[in-house]
Every structure is written in structure tokens, then in C-alpha cells.
Amino acid sequence: MKRLAILGSTGSVGTQALEVVAAHPELFEVEVLSAHNNATLLIEQAKKFKPNAVVVTNEAKYKEVKEALLMLPIKVFAGQQALNDVVQWGTVDTVLGAIVGFAGLHSILAAIEGGKRIALANKETLVVAGELVMQRAAEKKVAIIPVDSEHSAIFQCLVGEDMSKVEKMILTASGGPFLGRKPNYLVNVKASHALQHPNWNMGAKISIDSATLMNKGLEIIEAKWLFGLDNDQIDVVIHSQSVIHSMVQFTDGSIKAQMGLPDMKLPIQYAIAFPHRVHNDYKRLDFKDFPKLTFEPADYKTFRNLAIAKEALYRGGNAPCVLNAANEMVVHAFLQNKVGFLEMSDMIEKTMEMVPFIEHPTIEDYQQTDVEAREYAAEFLKKSQMLIY
């Protein structure tokens, strides 16, 4: 029995994780649930799974959650510090980090300090502070198991392998809803179009990142730290069927690929059950349904976010932190149709030019960088008369 703290339980990954838990009550028990704003769903989840504690990080929602759970033996806490505290409880075995964005960083660091196994769905944790996070995980002897389908695929391909024999890793990308489109088309697309991903069921922010290919850029940076790679050991290839989730090429020229239908519950289950494989009833891949698997190079010129992310990767330091903060701001604006699809890349680039570079940031530097980057991005949005708020 593994006792889980599911951070971001009301989001896409969090809700699917609870489906996995519900299907295997003999293997998993929910110890902690957390959410930021969605008090209604958090309350519903708490009543069903009866965790030891729930945390609502938006303190304005505390009273609503507390009163709704008053008659149940569930502890209710509010605020970021409370979340940092409960993930270190001795009753927690594994922390599933599914909070989207920079907001997920501190609770993951707290869980590492508490010596907890991490199932990591929050890619921004390693994008923003990968060097620091992996260093602390190594010091605490904490295992970080990736939940992203691409990184889960690579992780599975590496089990039993010698890392010194890895030549490169190849991240696959579906290409999103605008695969093959050119700028003259993309200039007019709206959020409703970008949210219609052809293969994956994801939250709004990740769906937009997939449409701009920023998601793949963030995954490149995440892969560098997660697997201890050099910058030039990571490639991206467009694979529109989303059947091969990623690949590892070894020094003898052989390639291992992990395959399956696009369903996030599978990498979630793998991460929280590792090192065991658990039977499930998910639909199986039938090759008759995919007589052709296609691959093509990514269009860095049209989807400039991928090129900008690679630039941040090579710059290092706090550059990926700036990239992430600016991207979160412009995606938020785009979801409200307050900035154009192609303009998002322009504003990210401008923000990266403005924030001072720090080669070896501390956690305090990352926090300050995040604040400054958001302020600059907000200014660029205001100058375009496209206010976020």
C-alpha cells in the first residue's frame, strides 16, 4: 500500500491520478489532496477518498472547504506553507507533483527535504530550477519518477541500461492542432482552436503550450536535468500519431522506443507504482489501427517557442526561469484572447532580453527572477493594449 499526496488534485493529471487510485484501492491510499481555487471539486474528492488532510493554497477558499468537511475526520489547511509542511508528514510515501507552473516548485522542494519519493508531472519544477532540484534530490537520495509521457517513456527505456552508453534521447511531439500550418494561418487562431488537441486530453495551459510547441521546449530542458544530459544529446521529432512516446539511442546505434495509446493514466500509474507494473484494463495499442507511423522535423521557424526554449537551454542559469514565467503570463492572456498566437513568442523574447542574467542562481534568485519576468511580460502586454486583468 502506497500512501499518496496528490498536489493539484483538481487538475487534469490530478483527476486522472485519482482514477488510477480508485481502480486499485488495494495498492494506493490517498493521504493528502491539494488544490488552489477549485474548492468545489476538492471537497467532492475529499468526501470520496477521505484523505488524512486537504490543503487549499488559496486561503480565501479555506472557510468553504473547512465547513463542507466539518463532519468528516479530515484535517483542512490553507496556504503554501501548510502544503510544504504536510508533504513531509511521515504518513506520506509518494508525492505526485501535478501543480501547473512555477507554483509547484516549493512543495516539491519541501517533499525532497522530507525524503519523499517524487512522481513529477510539474515539468516547470525542473525547467526553472533543475540543477538545484536534482542536486537536493541526490543529497537526500530521493527518487524522481517522471509522469510526463515523453519522460516516462525515456525512463522506461533506460531501466537496466548503462547511462554512459546513451548517445542521445529523442522526444516525440504530436505537433499539436496546428501541425503544418504557416504564420499566415496562425495569426488569426484563437484559444478555442488551440485547445482542441488531436490526441491528448490535457489542461488548458498545457494544451496551449502543446499548440505553440513550448511544451516540447520545456520538456527538452526538463530532460537535461532529469537524465543528466548534455544540451546536444536531446532531439525533437514530430510524430503526429502519438504512439511512440519517446526514444533513446545508444552508442551502438540501436534505439529503444516506448509505445502505447495516448492516455496519461498509464504514465501516472507507472510513476506511482514503480518499480512494479500494475495490470489495468485500458485500451491496448492495435497496430492494425496504425498501419503507418510518420516522423518529420519540427518547424522551428514557424513555431518559434521551440527555438526560444532551446536558446534558454543553452544559456542556462536563470534563463529558463525567465522563459517559463513569461510563457505563463502570455498563455494566460492568450486564453482570454487578449494576445495573438504569434505575439506570444514576441513577448517571451522581449522579456528574456530584459531580465538580468544570473549564471548560478540560488532559490532566492529564482524567486526574484520569476517576479521580474512576470512584471516585464505584464508591461509588454499592457503596451499592446491587451491587459491580462
In a domain, 116, yes or no: yes
Together in a domain, 34 and 136: yes
Closest CA to 120 of 102, 106, 132, 104: 104
Check residue 286 and give its pLDDT: 96
> Taking all residues of the chain, what is their mean pLDDT, rounded to a whole number?
95
- State pTM to two decimals: 0.92
Q: Please, which pLDDT band fits residue 135 given cuts at 50, 70 and 90?
A: very high
Which has more pLDDT, 89 or 101? Answer: 89
Per-residue pLDDT, averaged over 110-134, amounts to 95
Q: What is the CATH number of the domain that holds 340?
A: 1.10.1740.10
Cell representation of residue 320: 529558463
In a domain, 352, yes or no: yes
Together in a domain, 387 and 299: no
CB 101 within 8 A of CB 91: no
In a domain, 45, yes or no: yes
**197-225 b/e (C-beta count within 10 Å ≥ 16 → b):** bebbebbbbbbbbbbbbbbbbbbbbbbbb
Task: Tell me the per-residue pLDDT of 158-182, one tens digit each, with 9 for 90 and over.
Answer: 999 999 999 999 999 999 999 999 9
In a domain, 279, yes or no: no
Partner residues linked to 170 by β-bridges: 235, 247
Share of the chain above pLDDT 70, in %: 98
Which has more pLDDT, 198 or 285? Answer: 285
Alpha-carbon distance 3 to 51, whole Å? 10
Together in a domain, 333 and 359: yes
In this structure, the number of other CB atoms found within 10 A of the CB of residue 358 comes to 17
CB 145 within 8 A of CB 93: no
In a domain, 50, yes or no: yes
In a domain, 40, yes or no: yes
Q: Please, which pLDDT band fits residue 388 given cuts at 50, 70 and 90?
A: very low
* Residue-number span of the structural domain to which 105 is assigned: 2-146
CB 377 within 8 A of CB 347: yes
Alpha-carbon distance 383 to 343, whole Å? 13
Together in a domain, 21 and 136: yes
Together in a domain, 328 and 223: no
CB 174 within 8 A of CB 242: yes
Together in a domain, 12 and 45: yes
Task: Tell me the per-residue pLDDT of 222-239, one tens digit each, with 9 for 90 and over.
Answer: 999 999 999 999 999 999
Task: Tell me the per-residue pLDDT of 328-358, one tens digit each, with 9 for 90 and over.
Answer: 999 999 999 899 999 999 999 999 999 999 9
Closest CA to 145 of 108, 102, 104: 108
Per-residue pLDDT, averaged over 50-63, amounts to 97
Alpha-carbon distance 53 to 2, whole Å? 16
For residue 382, pLDDT beyond 90 = no
Alpha-carbon distance 237 to 351, whole Å? 28
Together in a domain, 70 and 140: yes
Together in a domain, 303 and 327: no
CB 76 within 8 A of CB 53: yes
CB 134 within 8 A of CB 144: yes
Task: Tell me the per-residue pLDDT of 268-324, one tens digit each, with 9 for 90 and over.
Answer: 999 999 999 999 999 999 999 999 999 999 999 999 999 999 999 999 999 999 999
Q: What is the CATH number of the domain that holds 83?
A: 3.40.50.720
Together in a domain, 24 and 102: yes
Check residue 172 and give its pLDDT: 97
Together in a domain, 208 and 119: no
Residues 6+ apart with CB under 8 A from 301: 307
Together in a domain, 328 and 256: no
In a domain, 18, yes or no: yes
Together in a domain, 307 and 362: no
- Please give the tally of structural domains in the chain: 3
Residue 367 CA: distances (Å) to CA of 39, 61, 105, 318: 27, 25, 10, 10
In a domain, 78, yes or no: yes
For residue 389, pLDDT beyond 50 = no
Domain boundary among 97, 114, 146: 146
Check residue 201 and give its pLDDT: 67
